């Protein structure tokens, strides 16, 4: 299977995302102004500061030519993972619900956090098995997940909150400790923590790899049937 | 003739605005008391040929309507910058 990792001007985590993906399958970089997704099985919108985050984080990147293709790919059921700035881009593009606001502390946070895996039966978390707690780093200034109350209740009721900050680990004031949500169809997922930075024992945790392996397993199943 | 407009953007009412709170807390330290409801937003200035399209610009790019309110203020004719 093949992952495609988008590179925008201002992306900074695309190489880590590429390397992490390569531990689960093949992976290529997709350039923001190309409309060709190169036949990838899954798209990763990585972290960074796409287009300088001018206006609002993710606001300009959503109009990149490649994002039109990503939107089409998502509508057709393709798997899309947005990490940090990628999460912001997908929210701005309307592919994911809610928005990311400045951290309550107004400070940049960079630390390892514990996450609760709310569901292990999804395309993005299935490899977690009985692992219900993951240790993955966050690093952002604009990561406070917000959605209007009615929408929040619906997200919870529909089981679309896949990851939550463990008690005492919410780094940004996200409502209901939400760290990651998926779209209604379950094929687009965004999270603020960085699983691509937690794939090698050298940096303390390999829990992030479980997300990439989940996607690989999902694609493998789909190809097999 | 283009029109000069200002778009005032501020956090939607009811959404926690830590920036506004921080400014509100800082003012009394300088002796400015009696200040409440401080909110920090953004000002976008632009010259537009068709101001009737401003609301659509606000909805689609200039603001995120989920988290921000905006107000459009038209301030008259755009000044000729000599480039026409």
Beta strands in chain A (DSSP E): 2-7, 26-31, 42-45, 79-83, 99-101, 109-117, 133-140, 144-146, 161-165, 178-182, 188-191
Contacts of A56 in chain B (CB under 8 A): 64
Contact (CB<8Å) B18/A59:
no
* Positions in chain A whose pLDDT score sits under 50: none
Contact (CB<8Å) B66/A98:
yes
Tracing tokens 């998926």 back to the chain, one arrives at A182
| Residues comprising chain A, all counted | 225
Separation of alpha carbons A116 and A128, rounded Å? 11
Q: Is A156 a catalytic residue?
A: no
Contact (CB<8Å) A148/B66:
yes
**Does B15 touch chain A if contact means CB atoms closer than 8 Å?**
yes
pLDDT at B80 over 70: no
DSSP B5: E
What does the pLDDT look like over B14-58, one tens digit per residue?
999 999 999 999 999 999 999 999 999 999 999 999 999 999 999
Would you state the pLDDT for residue B75?
Answer: 84
Would you state the pLDDT for residue A113?
Answer: 98
**Does A105 touch chain B if contact means CB atoms closer than 8 Å?**
yes
Contacts of A147 in chain B (CB under 8 A): 66
| Inter-residue contact A73 to A82 (CB < 8 Å) | no
pTM for this model (two decimals): 0.94
Separation of alpha carbons A114 and A63, rounded Å? 33
Of B1 and A49, more confident: A49
Would you state the pLDDT for residue B78?
Answer: 83
pLDDT class for B84, splitting at 50, 70, 90? very low
Q: Is A169 a catalytic residue?
A: no
Separation of alpha carbons A21 and A196, rounded Å? 8
User: How much of chain B exceeds pLDDT 70, in percent?
Assistant: 94
Would you state the pLDDT for residue A136?
Answer: 98
Structure token digits, residue A130: 């009985």
Would you state the pLDDT for residue B81?
Answer: 58
Q: Is A32 a catalytic residue?
A: no
């Amino acid at each position: 299977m093949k992952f495609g990792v988008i590179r925008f001007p201002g992306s900074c985590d695309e190489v880590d995302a590429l390397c992490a993906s390569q531990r689960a399958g093949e992976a290529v970089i997709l350039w923001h102004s190309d409309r060709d997704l190169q036949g990838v099985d899954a798209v990763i919108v990585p972290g960074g500061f796409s287009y300088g985050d001018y206006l609002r984080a993710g606001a300009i990147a959503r109009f990149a030519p490649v994002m039109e293709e990503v939107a089409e790919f998502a509508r057709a059921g393709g798997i899309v993972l947005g990490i940090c700035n990628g999460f912001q881009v997908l929210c701005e593009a309307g592919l994911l619900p809610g928005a990311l606001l400045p951290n309550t502390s107004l400070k940049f946070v960079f630390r390892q956090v514990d996450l609760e895996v709310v569901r292990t039966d999804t395309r993005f978390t299935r490899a977690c098995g009985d692992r219900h707690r993951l240790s993955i780093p966050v690093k952002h200034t604009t990561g406070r997940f917000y959605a209007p109350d009615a929408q929040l209740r619906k997200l919870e009721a529909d089981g679309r909150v896949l990851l939550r900050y463990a008690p005492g680990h919410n780094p940004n004031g996200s409502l209901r400790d939400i760290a990651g949500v998926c779209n209604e169809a379950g094929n687009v997922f965004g999270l603020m923590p960085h699983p691509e930075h937690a794939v090698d024992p050298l940096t303390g945790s390999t829990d992030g790899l479980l997300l990439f392996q989940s996607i690989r397993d999902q694609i493998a199943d789909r190809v097999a049937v | 003739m283009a029109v000069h407009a200002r778009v005032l953007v501020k956090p939607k009412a009811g959404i926690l605005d830590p920036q506004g709170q921080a400014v509100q807390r800082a003012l009394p330290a300088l002796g400015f008391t009696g200040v409440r409801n401080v909110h920090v937003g953004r000002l976008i200035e632009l010259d537009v040929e068709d101001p009737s399209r401003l609301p659509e610009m606000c909805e689609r790019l200039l603001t995120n309507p989920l988290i921000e309110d905006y107000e459009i203020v038209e301030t008259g004719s755009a000044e000729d910058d000599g480039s026409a």
